[in-house]
Structures are given as C-alpha cells and as structure tokens.
Amino acid sequence: MTGIITTPSVALAQVDAGAIERELARLWHAATEAEQTGGEALMRACLFNFVILTDTTRISHVTEVTARLTALRPNRAIVAALSTGADPADSAQRMEAWVQAHCALVTPGHPQVCGEQITIIAPLDAGMHIPGIVLSLLEPDVPVVIWWAFNRIPGGTVLAHLQSVADRLILDTAHMDGAETALRSAQSLIAAGVAIGDLAWGRLTVWREQIAQLFDAPSALHQLWSLERIEIEHGSRGATAALLLAGWLATRLNWRMTKRRDTGVVLTRSDGGEVLLEFARVETTAVDSLASVTLLTAHSRLTVTRSASGDHLKACAIIDGLAPVERAVHLPPLDTAALIVDELRLARRDPIYEAALRQALDLAEYLVTPSPE
C-alpha cells in the first residue's frame, strides 16, 4: 500500500438522508469521470457500515482512523458528532454534514479501493434526529459496526436507538474514567444482548500470547498447576487492563475467589491450593499502561516484562534445576484502526472476553476496601 488519499470534504446545504445520498452520487460520478479522462482507476467497496458516535472535538481523529481502516476493510463510515455543549453558542448551532471519500492503493497495478465517509454534526438539542438519519443511510445486506469513540461511559438516547441494529459495538474501556464503572457498563450492554468489542482487550492480545507461551515446554506446563502468586504491575491508567488480564488468567485456569487480603485477592485452584493475586502501581508511559506480569511457584519464576524502550516484551522462565529460557517479541504499534480490524474478525460475541470481564468485575469488588461501620 503506497498511501491513503482522502478527497476534500463537500459540505451539504441541507442535512437529511436524501440530500446526503445525492451528494454521494455526485461524488462518485465525478470520480468516475476523472478516471475516464486518465485519472487513477478506483473501485468503490463496502464490507460493512461503520457508525462512529463521538463529539466534535474528535472528528479529525476519527477521520484519520477511518481513512486507515478503509485501506484494511473498506466501509461506509457515518460519523455522528455531538457538540460538547461547553460553549453556550452550541445550542444555537444548526446541523451540518459533509461527505468525502478515502482511497488506498492496496495492490500495485490494481484500482484504488475506496470507501466513503459521511460526517454529521449536531448540537446537543438536535441529537434526537441523529438515529433516524443514520438508519436511513445504512447500506443494506452488510453488517453494522458502531464505534463509541467517546472517552466516557456509553449511554444516551442516540446509542439506545442504534444499538439494536449493531452486529458489534466497539468500546475502549481503558480510556474511560473508573475501571470498574467502565467494565460494568460493558457488562450491562452484553446483558442487553449487545456484542461488545473492547480495544482495551485487544491491546492485551500480545500479553496473553506471551504468558501462554511461557508454558509451552512440559517442564513449565507442570508449574502452571501449582502457581502460588501472581503480580501485575500497571500505570495510573492501567487498572482496566490489569483487571481484564487477571480475569482471563482466573477463568482459563478455573480459579475461584475466596477472600481478600490487604495486598490483593486470594483465589483457590481446582486442586484446593491458594493463589495470591496482587496489583502494583508503577510509572509507565505505555499506551496499554501495563509494565509486567510475574507468575510464581515454589520452584519457578515466570515473567513477561515491557522493555525499557517500550517497543518489545521480554519473557523469562526460571525453573529450579533448568537453564533460564528467555525470548523477546516486538510489540506492534497499537494503532486504533488495526485494533478495530482485529475485533471485526469475530462476527458476533467474544466468549473469552465476556468470561474475563465477568471475573474482572468480581475481582474489582473483592479489591474494594469495605467502608468502616
């Protein structure tokens, strides 16, 4: 892929589904005429509807993500941006809309693959009109993916009216205030029948892979069933990731929580033995805010640690009587578009994430210190 081209946005004088469709038709007609007169060959494609709910301050960011996503999975993107209401003049705003195309040369010698983006801006008091316009603009016979691109807990009438048509709803619980509150909001949506994709979970993929690979060797696998202590170090924004990672470990190993200690939570293994799970706050600038995971038994120490440079993970297995085993794996850029593509590999629900989420919420409750009577 040599690059992504985004056409200039074309503003609409009238904001309704019919006017938007007419402007899109003109956009593609102009592109076809340019192609016939010697311009770049292009192919319009739409694998899914991509509805982005956000605020007006993040339009540039979501447009950049949408352009990169088009190169990976072409779509019809509908950006519904609500004004923040911070400026009193916002209430006097009219609805605005514009259309543009994103094109990428995916394979040299072939036409550019293009998707389209429709952006609608509405003041807070006009948000009620957004669902009807969005529903009218959806391409038929392809999935509907909604991206909640706010840094706040999902909710409100716009999402309530649209979530019933969504095949997937993508969130980022790590960027919401309050780890337990964010995770509980995701759990509530799942309980309502929504298939959730969580970018915080996607960032944990490489960590989960490296932890699992620590136990590939038979000598290490034997240690897995006798784990006695787990330590997870994370930064100030990493509580969500740490809880999800701990929830994943507990569900995969069939552990159950039994009691709380001052330093963490005690879980019971299937053989009746106990595992102490502890979290520690450290300084880190990593996007996922995770620093290290340490798994201890009486005879081994297995670790996955982020390097000082932050661009790779180091895994180390030290087992009594055996030579240490070490390896390093490069950390891919945590690009939002790539994370969304990974989420789209699942057509509907992610049972492993949902199980880890339930366990993470149970852990969060155990970690809360009871209020004094």
Say if 372 falls within a structural domain. no
Helix axes 179-191, 239-252, angle to 10 degrees: 50
26 & 92 share domain:
yes
Say if 341 falls within a structural domain. yes
Which residues, in sequence order, are CB contacts of 98 under 8 Å at separation 6+?
9, 10, 11, 12, 118, 119
Cα separation, 228 vs 92, in Å, equals 61
Say if 324 falls within a structural domain. yes
| Largest pairwise CA distance in the chain | 80
pLDDT tens digits, one per residue of 230-251: 999 998 888 999 999 999 999 9
128 & 216 share domain:
no
CA-based R_g, the chain, Å: 24
- Within 10 angstroms of residue 264's Cβ, the number of other Cβ atoms is 21
Say if 199 falls within a structural domain. no
27 & 123 share domain:
yes
- Predicted local distance difference test score (pLDDT) of residue 283: 83
Say if 185 falls within a structural domain. no
Residue range(s) defining the domain that contains residue 360: 205-367
257 & 132 share domain:
no
Q: Residue 263 sits in a domain of what CATH number?
A: 3.30.360.10
pLDDT tens digits, one per residue of 171-209: 999 999 889 999 999 999 999 999 999 999 999 999 999
227 & 335 share domain:
yes
Say if 196 falls within a structural domain. no
For the chain, give the mean pLDDT.
Answer: 88
8 & 149 share domain:
yes
Residue in the structure block whose two tokens are 């989960």: 208
Q: Where are the beta strands (DSSP E) in 262-296?
A: 264-268, 274-281, 290-296
How many separate domains does the chain show?
A: 2
pLDDT tens digits, one per residue of 42-59: 788 899 999 999 999 999
16 pLDDT tier (thresholds 50, 70, 90): confident
How far apart, in Å, are the Cα atoms of 184 and each of 65, 145, 368?
Answer: 27, 21, 15
Q: Is 21 exposed, middle or buried (0-12, 13-18, 19+ CB in 10 A)?
A: middle
Whether 214 contacts 302, CB under 8 Å: yes
Which residues, in sequence order, are CB contacts of 361 under 8 Å at separation 6+?
180, 183, 184, 187, 243, 247
299: pLDDT strictly greater than 80: yes
pLDDT tens digits, one per residue of 90-141: 544 678 999 999 988 767 767 788 899 999 999 877 778 899 999 999 999 9
Comparing CA positions, the residue from 172, 248, 265, 238 lying closest to residue 210 is 248
339 & 209 share domain:
yes
